[in-house]
């Protein structure tokens, strides 16, 4: 099939979006390719179409587990075989998934970056017929980027396994420094770079310097019709501000990664279908959500970087209609960020302390634990060891940099199972254990393919079909797991820690202080760029584009700064018109104040009075009794 036939068959589109076809053809010619496409620009099509056009499998590396799962489900719905391997999956699940990539019809293997570190994954990948390596959110590979992920540095190891396979790196935001770093870290050769301008002409960027942010939170949706997103920093705030909207008669709901998956999905769909006007969310919300008619995005708090701000504000106006990206700011924000910065970066001793507390939390012996994944109740962990949560999260990230462990925030994995015996062995078990017969038959009728792969299971559905309550279903599955009849993995929706190396003794645990200092400097540089954006009266679009190295951008004409300049310019022109008209009137006759104001035609009454006051102050006109006349000293 041709590229356009693939696009039509699987996506039902006749034409590609801007730059998509050029990127796809670059990949098909074997070029290592860096593609910078704005949020909503259709990055996934750029690797999915060429992978479908060639024999073999495409390996997709992404840190966004929710987005990976969405893409796998969307591909399967199109009849395309795809699998994902993330933290929290058992070794057996991973083993089966990788085998299917070698021997089955799988076209896409989605991997979280830390999975590339395992010997099992590398060994199996070496046997795969790989046609493309796609790296999503590629800015994560650069320590100069706003969201550096140390496991990304190991993506280049795939090139040793498949040296002739092209790499496609994709991101929505990257400065010139980061773009260069991406290419170096991924060992690009025959490099092609495609970059769409970061300009979004239909978005009016606005900074509102206000002490009363809550009033502005109400003013914006009352003045702008349509759906919106309000970004806040904490999970508690999402609920508080959603309630604030509801109390003031505005339809709203909240979203964060700590909600149960079903709740997140329900709230997301209600907002996407315009049943809810506003979704109040942490930055966990928005990745991969294709809602074109978002009319405003409000940041109640300062974003951590201009890259993050551009991506999040860019979720407005994907339909190319007028939209607003609003940042609420006041002086207290700077003080708050400075305090947060000082408390965010742990010392080397604190990083080591978190490491050993974590090992004790999971009762891991020294030299044990390699390859094991655990749920992490961060609140319980920090409470038990009296740790600061922000510092702890950063300590975990620095432990990632040393390849000691990987840390993924809020991984949702549904319940799943797989039969561990053959069909014949299962039948014999049912004959010998008639008490289990009805339950096993219900499972067999409800779920297919479970002899070959792990299959997602919903305990609630199974309880209705088997006339058992949910807890009885869970206990039944656990017992069958103990009997080795099936392998049952209950759903999880918590952060995950995976031990990449056995637990180390204190004397061999090395934490790179220089790297911590570099991250602190990068973080400070990023947040200072955000404050520069908020505190300066320059065209907002120009400032964003300059940050992304588009140096000669024109003023947008629609941001708060440009509109204020227009108002001032118009006011000056109106003042000149009023002044000229008043002088002409007074040259031809005398007027009292009221008749002069009513006789003038330029401007509003308020503007005419202001002009007359300025002419009086300047001595250009004066009162003669009750009448206004021209001062002879000036005319």
User: 3-state SS of 2-42?
Assistant: CHHHHHHHHHCCCCCCCCHHHHHHHHHCCCCEEEECCCCCC
State how far the Cα of 628 lies from the Cα of 48, in Å rounded to an integer: 77
State residue 570's pLDDT score.
Answer: 86
Examine the pLDDT at 409 and tell me if it is beyond 70. no
pLDDT at 238: 94
Distance, CA of 299 to CA of 329 (rounded, Å): 9
pTM metric for this prediction:
0.76
Residue 411: per-residue pLDDT: 57
Angle formed at CA 320 by CA 319 and CA 321, multiple of 5 degrees = 90
Q: What number is the average pLDDT over the span 34-46? A: 84
Taking 80 as the threshold, does the pLDDT of residue 260 lie above it? no
Does 25 have pLDDT greater than 80? yes
Quickly name the fold that domain 416-490 has: Arc Repressor Mutant, subunit A (1.10.10)
**Cα(567)–Cα(334) distance, integer angstroms:** 29
3-class DSSP assignment, residue 483: coil
Q: Which top CATH class is 3-195?
A: alpha beta
* Closest to 39 in 3D by CA, of 64, 60, 21, 58: 64
Which residues are within 8 A (CB) of 295 and not within 5 positions of it... i.e. 6 or more apart?
224, 225, 226, 227, 228, 316, 317, 321, 322, 323, 324
At 190 the pLDDT is 86
Instruction: Report the mean per-residue pLDDT for the chain.
Output: 89
pLDDT band at 218 (very low <50, low <70, confident <90, very high): very high
pLDDT in tens, 550-570: 988 999 999 999 999 998 888
Burial code (b: 16+ CB inside 10 Å, e: under 16) for 612-626 equals beebeeeebbeeeee
Pair 295, 226: CB distance under 8 Å? yes
Say what the pLDDT of residue 485 is.
Answer: 94
> Over 60: is that where the pLDDT of 635 sits?
no
Q: pLDDT above 70 covers what percent of the chain? A: 96
pLDDT in tens, 137-151: 899 888 777 677 777
Q: Which of 363, 361, 359, 365 lies closest to 404 in space, CA to CA?
A: 359
Q: What is the pLDDT of residue 515?
A: 82
Work out the average pLDDT over 358-381. 90
- Matching fold, domains 3-195 and 416-490: no
Q: How far is CA 447 from the centre of its chain?
A: 34
Q: Which two tokens stand for residue 355?
A: 């490491």
Give mean pLDDT, residues 49-53: 96
* For residue 239, pLDDT beyond 90: yes
Q: What is the pLDDT of residues 156-214, one digit of tens each?
A: 888 889 999 999 999 988 888 999 999 999 999 889 999 888 899 999 999 999 999 99
Class of residue 160 by CB neighbours under 10 A (exposed 0-12, middle 13-18, buried 19+) = exposed
Question: What pLDDT score does 287 carry?
Answer: 63
The predicted structure's pLDDT at residue 118: 75
CA dihedral 259, 261, 264, 270 (to 10 degrees): -150
CATH class of 560-630: mainly alpha
Asked if residues 230 and 281 have their Cβ atoms less than 8 Å apart, the reply is yes
pLDDT value, residue 412? 63
Domain boundaries, the chain: 3-195, 203-329+532-547, 338-412+496-511, 416-490, 560-630
> How much is the pLDDT for 203?
96
Structure-block tokens of residue 98:
């990788």
Is 535 or 390 the better-scoring residue by pLDDT? 535
pLDDT mean over 28-42 = 87
Read off the pLDDT of each residue in 265-276 and give the average, rounded to a whole number.
91
Sheet bearing 416-419, strands edge to edge: 455-456, 416-419, 486-489
pLDDT above 60: residue 634: no
Given a cut of 70, is residue 75 above it in pLDDT? yes
The residues pairing with 168 across neighbouring beta strands, listed in sequence order, are 33, 134
Q: Is pLDDT at 355 greater than 90 in this prediction? A: yes
The average pLDDT across 236-245 equals 95
pLDDT value of residue 30: 94
Residue 243 pLDDT greater than 80, yes or no: yes
Mean pLDDT, range 81-100, rounded to an integer: 85
What are the residue ranges of helices labelled H in 345-469? 348-361, 378-385, 389-401, 423-432, 437-446, 459-466
| pLDDT number for residue 87 | 66
* Most confidently predicted of 67-76, 143-152, 497-506: 497-506
The CATH code belonging to domain 338-412+496-511 is 1.10.10.10
Query: Residue 248's CB: how many other CB atoms inside 10 A?
Result: 13
Residue in the structure block whose two tokens are 């005319």:
635
Residue tagged 């940041």 (tokens)? 299
Q: Which of 388-392, 560-564, 593-597 has the highest mean pLDDT?
A: 560-564
Check: CB of residue 119 under 8 Å from CB of residue 91.
no
- Which CATH class, in words, describes the domain spanning 203-329+532-547? alpha beta
- Residue 40 — pLDDT band, cuts 50, 70, 90? low
Q: Which residues pair with 207 in a beta bridge?
A: 327
Is residue 140 within 8 Å of residue 401, measured between CB atoms?
no
pLDDT top residue among 495 and 200: 200
């Amino acid at each position: 099939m041709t590229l356009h036939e693939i696009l039509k068959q699987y996506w039902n589109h006749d034409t590609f979006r801007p730059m998509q076809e050029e990127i796809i053809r670059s990949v098909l010619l074997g070029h290592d390719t860096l593609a910078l496409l704005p949020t909503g620009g259709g990055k996934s099509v750029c690797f999915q179409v060429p992978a479908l056009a060639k024999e073999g499998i495409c390996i997709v590396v992404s840190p966004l587990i929710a987005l990976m799962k969405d893409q796998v489900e969307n591909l399967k719905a199109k009849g395309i075989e795809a699998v994902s391997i993330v933290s929290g999956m058992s070794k057996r699940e991973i083993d089966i998934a990788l085998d299917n990539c070698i021997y089955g019809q799988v076209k896409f293997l989605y991997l979280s970056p830390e999975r590339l570190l395992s010997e099992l994954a590398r060994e199996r990948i070496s046997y795969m017929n790989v046609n493309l390596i796609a790296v999503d959110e590629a800015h994560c590979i650069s320590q100069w980027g706003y969201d550096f992920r140390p496991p990304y540095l190991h993506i280049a190891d795939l090139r040793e396994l498949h040296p002739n396979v092209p790499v496609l790196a994709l991101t929505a935001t990257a400065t010139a420094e980061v773009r260069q770093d991406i290419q170096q870290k991924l060992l690009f050769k025959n490099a092609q770079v495609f970059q769409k301008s970061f300009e979004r002409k239909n978005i009016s960027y606005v900074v509102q310097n206000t002490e009363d942010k809550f009033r502005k939170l109400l003013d914006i949706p009352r003045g702008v019709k349509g759906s919106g997103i309000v970004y806040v920093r904490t999970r508690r705030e999402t609920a508080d501000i959603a309630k604030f909207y509801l109390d003031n008669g505005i339809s709203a709901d909240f979203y964060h990664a700590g909600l149960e998956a079903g709740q997140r999905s329900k709230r997301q769909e209600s907002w996407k279908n315009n049943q809810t006007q506003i979704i109040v969310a942490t930055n966990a919300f928005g990745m991969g959500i294709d809602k074109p008619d978002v009319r405003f995005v409000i940041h109640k708090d300062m974003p951590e970087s201009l890259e993050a701000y551009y991506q999040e504000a860019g979720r407005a106006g994907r339909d190319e209609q007028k939209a607003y990206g609003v940042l609420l700011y006041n002086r207290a924000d700077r003080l708050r960020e400075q305090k947060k910065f000082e408390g965010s970066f742990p010392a080397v001793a604190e990083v080591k302390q978190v490491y050993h507390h974590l090992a004790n939390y999971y009762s891991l012996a020294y030299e044990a634990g390699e390859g094991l994944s655990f749920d992490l109740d961060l609140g319980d962990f920090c409470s038990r060891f009296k740790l600061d949560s922000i510092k702890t999260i950063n300590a975990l990230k620095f432990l990632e940099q040393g390849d000691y462990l990987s840390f993924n925030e809020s991984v949702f994995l549904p319940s799943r199972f797989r039969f561990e015996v053959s069909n014949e062995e299962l039948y014999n078990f049912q004959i010998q254990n008639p008490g289990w017969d009805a339950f096993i038959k219900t499972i067999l009728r409800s779920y297919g393919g479970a002899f070959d792969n792990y299959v997602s299971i919903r305990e609630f559905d199974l309880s209705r079909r088997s006339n058992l309550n949910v807890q009885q279903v869970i206990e039944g599955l656990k017992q069958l797991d103990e009997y080795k009849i099936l392998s049952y993995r209950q759903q999880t929706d918590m952060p995950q820690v995976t031990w990449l190396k056995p637990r180390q003794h204190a004397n061999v645990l090395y934490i790179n202080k220089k790297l911590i200092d570099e991250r602190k400097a990068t973080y400070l540089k990023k947040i200072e760029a955000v404050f520069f954006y908020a505190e300066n009266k320059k065209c907002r679009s120009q400032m964003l584009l300059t940050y992304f190295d588009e140096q000669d951008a024109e003023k947008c004409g629609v941001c708060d700064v440009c509109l204020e300049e227009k108002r001032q310019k118009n006011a000056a022109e109106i003042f000149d018109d009023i002044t000229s008209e008043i002088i002409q009137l007074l040259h031809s006759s005398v007027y009292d104040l009221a008749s002069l104001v009513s006789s003038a035609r330029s401007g509003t009454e308020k503007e005419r009075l202001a002009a007359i006051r300025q002419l009086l102050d300047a001595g250009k006109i004066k009162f003669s009794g009750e009448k206004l006349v021209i001062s002879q000293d000036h005319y």
